[in-house]
Amino acid sequence: MPDMGNQSKMTDTSGHPKGALRGVVAVGASAGGVEALTAFASRLPSDLPYAVLVALHMPASAPSVLAGILDRSGPLPAVSASHGAKMEAKKIYVAVPDRHLLMEDHRLVLSEGPTENGYRPAINALFRSVALTLGHSAIGVVLSGVLDDGVAGAAAIRARGGTTIAQLPEDALFSAMPQNALGAGVIDHKAAATEIGPLLAQLAGRKLEERVMEPDARMELENLIAMGGRFSTEFDGEALGPHSGYICPDCNGSLMIVTEDNGFRCRVGHAWTGEALLKARDDEVEQALWIALRSLQEKARLSRKMADTISPGSLHRRYTQAADEAERAMSVLGQRLSRTTSEADEHGGH
C-alpha cells in the first residue's frame, strides 16, 4: 500500500509537486512603476510556485538597477533576465533595457523585436508571449502607469484562459494604466500593490482544469514579430490587416489595423495602441511648436537688429512690423506650450 502521508508531503493542495514551477506571473508597469513594484515584491510569498517576470517601461540607455531594488524589497530573489535561462519558481526575472522579455518552452527570451508603443521592453509583448506559451497557467498583473499599456496583453492572457490582476487605481501613483485595463473589462481581480502577493498565494492553491484552446493566428503573428530581430523581415506586413491611413511615429511607415479596438502595426512591426498613437502625435505637435517658437524668436531678434542699422523709413517700418508680429506669435505659442507642459506634469511621463 502506498504511503499516503509521504505522498501528501510531496504535493500541495492542488496536486502539484512541491517546489515545482506551476506557471508564470507576468507584471507590467510604467510611470510610478518602481514604487508599485517595490510594494508588490515586499509581500510576495516566499514559497510562491510561480516565476515572476517583470517588464518596466524604461529608456534604452537606462541603467539596469531594478533587479537589485526588488531583490532587497522582499523574500524572493530578483535577477536581471538573461537570454535562454530556464525559469524557476520563487524567483523574479526583470527585463533589461532595450530588450523585450518573452518566453518560449519555459525559457527566457531577450529580443530586439520592434518597439511597442515606443518601448522595448514592452508590457503587451511580455503578456502576449506568456499567454501563448502557458494559457491557463499565466497570470498577468497591471501596475501603475499612464495610457493603456497592458490592456491588449491582459486581454490576450484572459483569452487563453489565464488570470489577470490590476493594482487599485487609487493605490497607484499613476492610475491610468490599471484604470484603462479595468475599464476595458479584461481584469479578474484588483488589489493594492502590497495585497497582490497574498492574492497570488490564494490563486496558487486553485486546481486548474486543462482547456483546449483554438489557435490564434493574429496573436501568434504578433508574438513572432516580437521574437524577431530589430529589422526582421520574416513576416508579411500586408497580413497584419488593412491600411489605417495613419503613419508610424517611429519609422513613418504605413500603419495597418491589427485589431478593431485601435491596435496598429507598421510594415516593420512597430506596434501602437490608439492611446499611445495619440500621445505620439501630441509629442510631434509639441516638438513642431518648439521649433516654431525658436524660429520666431530668431526672426524677431534679426528684424530688430536690421531695423537698428538703418534710418527711419519704409524699410525700417517693415523690419519693425516683422519683429512685432513675430513677438506676438511668440507670446501665443509660449502660452500654448506652458499649458502643454503643465498638463504633462499633471499626468506624468511615460
Candidates 263, 115, 262, 242; CA nearest to 254 is 242
Cis peptide before 198 (omega within 30 of 0): no
Candidates 60, 172, 136; CA nearest to 150 is 172
C-alpha angle 24-130-231 in degrees, rounded to nearest 5? 135
Residues 6+ apart with CB under 8 A from 334: 293
Distance of CA 277 to the CA centre of its chain: 13
Cα distances from 86 to residues 9, 106, 108, 193, 341, in angstroms, run 26, 6, 6, 27, 45
Q: Does the active-site annotation cover 57?
A: yes
Cα distance between residue 246 and residue 257, in whole Å: 9
Cα distance between residue 177 and residue 167, in whole Å: 9
Question: Taking the CA atoms of the chain, what radius of gyration do you get in angstroms?
Answer: 25
Q: How far apart are the first and last CA of the chain?
A: 61
> Catalytic pick from 100, 136, 148, 149?
149
Sheet architecture: strand order including 50-56: 78-80, 91-94, 50-56, 23-29, 138-142, 163-167, 189-191
Q: DSSP class of residue 15?
A: S
Q: Which residues are catalytic?
A: 30, 57, 149
